[in-house]
Structure 1
Amino acid sequence: MHCGLPTVCSTADDPTRVFCCGGCRQAYELIHGWGLDDYYAIRDRTGGSTGVFSKADASRYDAFDDDQYLGASAPRRAADGSLSTELSVSGLHCAACAWLIENVAGRTRGWTLARVKLNRHTVQIVFDPQQIKLSEIADLIGRLGYTLSPLTTEPVDRFRQENRRLLMQIAVAGFCAANAMWIAIALYAGDASGVAGEHRLFLRLAAAALGIATVAFPGRTFFVSALAALRNWTPHMDLPVALGLSVGTIVGLVNAISGSGEVYFDSLAMLVFLLLIGRWIQFRQQHRAASAVDLLLRITPQHARLVDEDSPEGPDRWVMVNSLKAGQVIRVNVSESLPVDGRIIAGESMLDRSLLTGESVPVEAKVGDGVTAGTVNLSRPIKVRVEAIGADSRIGRVMESVEAAMAQRTPIVQLADRIGGVFVVVVTLLAAIAFAAWFSHGIDVATANATSLLIVACPCALALATPLAIAVSLGRAAKRKILIRDGDVLQQLSGRGKVWFDKTGTLTEGRPRAELVYGSTDGLRMAAAIERECCHPIADAILREADRLDLIPATGADEIQLGAGGLSGRCQGLRVDVGNESFLRRQGVELSSDVTEHCERCLQNQTTPVIVAVAGCVVAVLAIADPVKQDAKSTIDRIRQAGWDVGILSGDHQELVGKVSRRVGIDPQNAFGGLSPEDKLKRVTTGAAGPVVMIGDGANDAAALAAADVGIAVRGGAEVSLQAAPVFVASGTLESVADLMDASRRTNHLIRTTFAVSLAYNVIAVVLAIFGFISPLVAAVLMPISSVSVLSLTLGWPTFAEDAS
């Protein structure tokens, strides 16, 4: 009900009151109690989902009352005595999340204001310290499924300054273009109905001033780039743009001063405006690569519990992670992520390494074992001696590989870009030839014909064909909850190559489910009593099943002991053991033939058997499965029929990967398990004849997603994966990937068609202009016709299969 994840329930249950876990139930009760049920309607309309809840220690929010801990987010006091602060918030997905947090503030005593900034993932909080503490607000937001943390001081000023500079250039160019267009309308109207000579001269000079201002200030970036291209003998698109702007400006200025001929500064100003918008979009795409390093701080904790080695049993001290040094000791409690790479010096626990490796099963860690940042401690507190932090940690190196891979990716050079520069240079030369050929008829005739050629052959439609087709396709994909951040994706997916799938959370649900296959529900209830103190995926599966059957006990268990393959404890005075066969045997539990037969049947059905024993006797067997998504096989069949070769890259065990590959129709020899993030990156970047597509959802896939020609992050993926991948499938279905590939082929055909139409138009127009059949005024009227034809063709083209119906 709350998080939107699929939850098993009986037909008698009310689906609006079914919860996957206690955290979702608690959040629902809070929201319902505040009267904010509209949150769910807003969430569903915007396609959002609620964050996943953790069982983190609530006391961790106590540090929010310490200004030293908050750093740059330390509250500032206003004149009325209230405090204001801005904090990072993770778990935001859509406008519904922002609406919920902002409305909760108005229903909480002492919490005056909350303003969520979705684009920055921050929230501004104003509160009365006499009535409520910041730690209480943080805890309240945490109970809703969102996590607050102090703002980082990562240097992003350079990108903000460049973004501001580009936007200022666009604003100036837009202002000049709009006013130049109005002046052009006045001049054309005056030519038709008559206008005083002095007024006409004033308007022409005003248009010239606006055009020159546009070219000289916001447009100077093209001249700087063109001069650099000439100095290095590496011509690119800015060179013909600068040539066109130069010729247009000189001819327009001469005509404006002389009072004869046409001025075309409105076209020049609009051209600069549109080109700058395209450059800003490109800059925003490049900025994503630099953001990958900042995302490192969102994935790993920013603070750590520093242990005083002189008084190891004394209270820990919260410190910033970047202040830690190698050799210091930190404590990591249950449910907390490790902020550093290091080595365990005290304690034993189970660790969830899925963030980095993709392993779906927690692993045991003991004294002397190395651990990495981003790993989640599941069962017992441990002490870790620091070895590497930040960029020097393993996850830091993965993030660096993400940034490097994105920087090295060379976008497909669009067809218009490949010949557009040559076309404009050729047109400019033809204009010079036309001027020379018509010079014998007088300089005015020669200038008019040359200018007509430059205007009517302006490659607007030629340059518009590809980006317009891509923009329309991106918009139609977004309506189907397929978000694409790079138009080159459509050209890559229109071909044939290699598609790699991650397993956990991509081909499978990524969320284990438990099913009672032997014994009584009392065994499930006792298992839930033991597992509620643990925090690994198998425990969550058992607790969800027990909650669905209303078997969650009121009290937990005592004397919990964790071992390899299971855990033990006491519940209602009885010893309870929960684990695999080898664990139960080590505990001295005898397994009957019925029990072993059910365990073997579980393995045959590709599920993991978990045995529950009470007082030394087996009372239940549970089957734990991470089911394959229903549309996985049909999606893979469609992709293969389109000519792609399909395989699996997973960090999970090879045996499990092989079983999944057979179920979805992938050759087991093309399914690889036990891979590290570095191994996945190597597979993606080597040995492929065509485009390589990587489809995944975990942070361990981030480098591979970035290095692939096309990275596709599926719903539920880690935040860094969504930044590394240019495609985010928010629909929740793998079929959307196959739909996107079909749409890409149709878009590529559209691009070729519109390009041919615009190129044919420009060739015909150039010929007519050379022979003097087109005047400058007619040229100005004919110029937009090719753009209109390209626009009409693009809007009517069936990009997705449904568009044709």
Structure 2
Amino acid sequence: MTQPDCFHCGEPVPNDSPYQVTLDDVRHPLCCPGCEAVSHAIIHGGLESYYKFRTELPPRPELSEEELAELQVYDSPELLQEFVHQDEHGMAETTLAIDGITCAACAWLIEHQIDHLDGVERTAVNLSSQRATLRWDINKLPFSKLLQEFKTIGYAAQPWQADEQQEKLQQEHKMAIRRLIVAAIGSMQAMMFGIALEAGVLENFMQREFVVLFQWLSFLVTTPVVLYSSWPFFISAARELKHRRLNMDVSISLAIGLGYGASVWGLIFDVGELHFYAVSMFAFFLLFGRYIEMRTRHKIGSGGNALDELLPQAALILNEQQQEEYVPSRQLRPGDRILIKPGHTLPVDGFILEGQSSINEATMTGEYLPVARYPGQEVLAGTQNIDSPLVVEVSKIGQEVRLASIARLSDRAQAEKPRIATLANQVAQYFVATLLVVATSVLIAWLFIDPSRAFWITVSVLVVTCPCALALATPTALAVANATLGRQGVLITRGHVLEGLAKATHIIFDKTGTLTEGRLELKETLWLADPQDPRQEQITALAAALESQSEHPIAQAFMGFREEGIKAEGIQALTGQGLTGRIKGLTYRLGRADFAAPESALQPPQGEGQWLLFADEQQPLCWFRLSDHLRPDTQAVLKELARQNIQVELLSGDQEGAVASIAQELGIERYQAGATPEKKLERLKELQNQGHQVIMVGDGINDVPVLAGAQVSIALGNATDLAKTSADTLLLSSRLLRISQAIDKARKTHRIIAQNLTLSLVYNLLALPAAALGLVPPWLAALGMTTSSLLVVLNALRLRDRGNAQRLSDTPSDDSPIQEVSA
């Protein structure tokens, strides 16, 4: 018997398909719920003539040659080795991430459609994770053809492969689920038996043999909870005791172990009370709280698989004949030319050679509004082209791209613990030690008062005062705050930043490239030397040659005046003063007047902007006037800092006129012009000696000493590499408002941590006397301990984003090209 075709789409109908449609009293088979829904909609809408008069079945959507070429990249040995596992018989297995799955019908359709392909042995779709696991004969069906079939039926599929960290998190999650399920089933069964036994119900209606049977059944269902579900508590406690340390798992292990052991003893020798249900419920509540905490930690702190998810696996390379060819992204090398079409994501860092377009940099900076990018500007891996095609020259690949650098900096921040977190861990250790002493004292006291209750009251004391909430109070809040700020474009690279921001009293800004955009322009040239000097016509080219190797914003003002035949040798930069070098045998200096021509005693001309003196060994040659512009949100951030009662100072190495005009425009009362790195550091130390907590914001090499010395240092996204590596925090966008937002978030984090610590301590102070007086049974103690831990986690989650409104309401800025972050 031949397999029927679907009445609606013409695809083969599975033998067990229950789907059908009735037209003119005739039932027609259908292949899937999607076709059933569409066909019923057509008929019930009075459009049944569609089926009567159609001359052919609807064609399957065909992929374009470009789409087919892009998919064929996945047949390359490099990608097959990474994404597909093959055995010696040619059978292949892979896991695909599927976009567009919305319901069980989608999963059913995919499984049945793919299973019908020649060579496919098994397809299993996980609806919750939106992934499909396949096993097929790769000799009959190439990997690219398999992906093509997914696209043909309307679902975009791409290889999914977890990195090492993601695999570790997944394994931890699976194991936690298994232990929690065992504990849940065991505790429910043990509670059913135990409460009835404790209430005396069974003794009134059953013979003694059946009562003993139920007691042994309680033992059987509790034993897996103790030996399997609770095993990590015992391992952790043993490890800590081996190193002569105490943690919360010590008291947990004592409570579970002693409670279980005493119940087993009572069961075997028929003495005392049995509390198997209390032990299993305690383990379940504790595991449930740990599971919620683990899920929160994974969600807010895991960066697993970030590079694989953000970066495309294929790239469109341009060869010497300008022909387009898809290649695996990992084969790209610096100097290659690639074509980035609208809607495509950049796989590497590079510079635009041809074209101009808008780039969505939300993955890098947290800014949701696209920014314009032009030839010569840098574009970053993980960002998306919006408008027009771009030809990009590859500059950095692999672990050198800025996205990888950000991941390394984030890992460094997560590895460092702030002082308050270290203090909380120390308090938890002392708390456990005190708890053990108190529990021993309670045991001794109740041995005199009522020996039959002494043991279980001691267990309740151990359970109810377990310092889980105390240990979770600080790290959970810090993790949520760090993740939230990271999504807003504030990358914290040191563990102490949030604490420092919360306590800050002063903030010091550099001027050029910080409060201003850092895009200086040459506005005026004022000649000082002999009018007949032939160098007058090339004076800007001479200055540009000196600045050719500098990353300072001043160098950008001279970039467009460079000439091929004029090059400088032996260039030396004196931080905060200027540059010197030799051009065609003559030594030139460019910078401050007291550096370029110290014997001339010249003063800069009056007027807006920054004046630089250019001189040779004999005489001053000319003045250059450079002008900069304030960042669009500079005024707004200063108002916010004033609201936060933070004193603002401006320290700049620029000349008095330029610094004074900026300070006056912004209303900054405390400023200093001509500030060398030594003077900036001196002022910083002066403030710190007075007991102030200082934030330093800068972007240049001359800011490195003071960045390193401040309690919290912040570098902008377009800062020099050295400034970035010296800073504790990076603003991935150019919006200064992120600083005040970070301070608000840090202060709120500080309040949340204080609330969590207070909540956990108050709970323990109230619960301990109640448990010691015998008012709290073991099961209620377990419930109270878990509830306090969950309250701490939920309170920390208040630090999450309120949504996108805050981001979109910020003043937009014209972002400048963002440079690499070095870890």
TM-score, with normalisation over the residues of structure 1? 0.49
TM-score, with normalisation over the residues of structure 2? 0.49
Greater gyration radius: 2
